[in-house]
Amino acid sequence: MIIMNKKSWLVVIAAALLLFFGAQGASLRQERSNLNAQLAEEMMGNKTIEEGSSSKRIAVLTVEGTIMDHGEGSPLKEPFTYDHKGTLRAIEDLKKDNNVKGLILEVNSPGGGTFESVELYRALRSLKEEKKIPIYVSMKKMAASGGYMISMAGDKIFADTETMTGSIGVIASAYNVKDLMDKYGVKVETFKTGDHKDMLSPYRSVTDEERNMMKDLLNDSYQEFLKIVEEGRHMKEDDVKPLADGRIYSARQAKDKHLIDELGYRKDAIAALKKDYNLEGAKVYQVKPSQVNRLVHFFKRFSLGISLQKLMRGNGLSDDLQAVQTLSKQLGSPRPYYLYGGE
């Protein structure tokens, strides 16, 4: 149930009156558009950062946390910060708002899944190209790996002096419980149609051939990352590749290497966007995507934590095997990440 305050009801009444009288003329149509925009902000709980004209507005979209679609992802990830589907919906909504003249992308993320990171990057690029609006990026504490990738959609990148960024690369991890099972003499019988059908299974060791296969697989994602950085920073591959060995950079180091543009805070990015695109007097507001399935992910993480505790306590064969079974189900299949610090 949505509870509306007095201001919200006034906006609703004003919009209804305009519709009732069939607003005529360009000025009235613009006013109706402004009121509809205000109503949408009230209903979604969007926060005004700087007051100004509703006919030219700057949206602030924050990406905070691990860039994962938690509805289908791992319970190891942070469930209370980033909502992938909600963020994509918010970007689509911005496309429909003719009053939005610019976007501040605020990034505080160590990255995430390769699929989600590329999907979000492409959505931001699509917003910029379809609406022909500028995107300025404001990096907060961290904008690494996938967090750096999505920043490549920006026309100008600002980072605080304490920002950690970079980590251009791909990582994948696989859990292996073979030694634990050998300890109790437990074997898993696997029936398969090919030698590599159970590659990265937690029940057996990885072969050298499979390690090379995984390296080739990750290299495809790595090349995609390089291409995005080359396009976003207007750099040649020979200039990007030496910087793309997975290392993290301070903001000053990143600026020296042309990975960002300016040192500054969000307010500096907003001021620069206004100045560069004649948006003085524009209203600046925070877009807040809806957060979904949070309790589900909380309990997934809680259950996973219990399983790990059981393994560490070592309460005997029954508990250990039950914990292994639970972990195998919860961890799911290994997958590649654009993520700083591993999984």
Is residue 203 located within the same domain as residue 113?
yes
In this prediction, residue 68 carries a pLDDT of: 92
- The CA distances from residue 134 to 123, 172, 219, 276, in Å, are 14, 34, 31, 10
In this prediction, residue 30 carries a pLDDT of: 52
Do the domain assignments include residue 312?
no
Q: How open is the CA angle 46-293-119, to the nearest 5 degrees?
A: 70
Domain count, the chain: 2
Is residue 195 located within the same domain as residue 268?
yes
Query: Which of the residues are catalytic?
Result: 145, 197
For residues 228 and 225, what is the distance between their CA atoms, to the nearest angstrom? 5
Contact 26, 71 (CB under 8 A): no
In this prediction, residue 105 carries a pLDDT of: 98
Is residue 137 located within the same domain as residue 218?
yes
Do the domain assignments include residue 183?
no
In this prediction, residue 74 carries a pLDDT of: 43
For residue 74, what is the DSSP state? Answer: -
- Weakly modelled stretches of the chain, pLDDT under 50: 1-2, 9-12, 17-18, 20-21, 23-28, 31, 42-44, 72-80, 291-297, 299, 342-343
The number of helix segments (H) and strand segments (E) in the chain equals: 12, 11
For residues 68 and 71, what is the distance between their CA atoms, to the nearest angstrom? 9
Is residue 17 located within the same domain as residue 134?
no
Residues making up the chain, counted from first to last? 343
Is residue 158 located within the same domain as residue 236?
yes
Contact 75, 330 (CB under 8 A): yes
Is residue 101 located within the same domain as residue 33?
no
Do the domain assignments include residue 116?
yes
Domain range holding 14?
Answer: 1-45
CA atoms within 13 A on the CB side of 28: 11
Instruction: Work out the number of other CB atoms within 10 angstroms of the CB of residue 119.
Output: 17
Do the domain assignments include residue 307?
no
Do the domain assignments include residue 69?
yes
Is residue 51 located within the same domain as residue 86?
yes
Is residue 227 located within the same domain as residue 115?
yes
Is residue 63 located within the same domain as residue 27?
no
Closest CA to 219 of 208, 207, 227: 227
Do the domain assignments include residue 216?
yes
Is residue 28 located within the same domain as residue 107?
no
pTM: 0.75
Is residue 4 located within the same domain as residue 111?
no
The β-bridge partners of 191 are: none
For residues 264 and 251, what is the distance between their CA atoms, to the nearest angstrom? 10
H helices of the chain, in order, are: 6-20, 25-44, 84-96, 114-131, 146-151, 178-183, 208-233, 237-240, 251-256, 266-276, 294-313, 317-331
156: domain CATH number is 3.90.226.10
Give the list of residues 6+ apart from residue 231 with CB closer than 8 angstroms, or none: 152
Do the domain assignments include residue 320?
no
Do the domain assignments include residue 322?
no
In this prediction, residue 195 carries a pLDDT of: 82
Is residue 26 located within the same domain as residue 167?
no
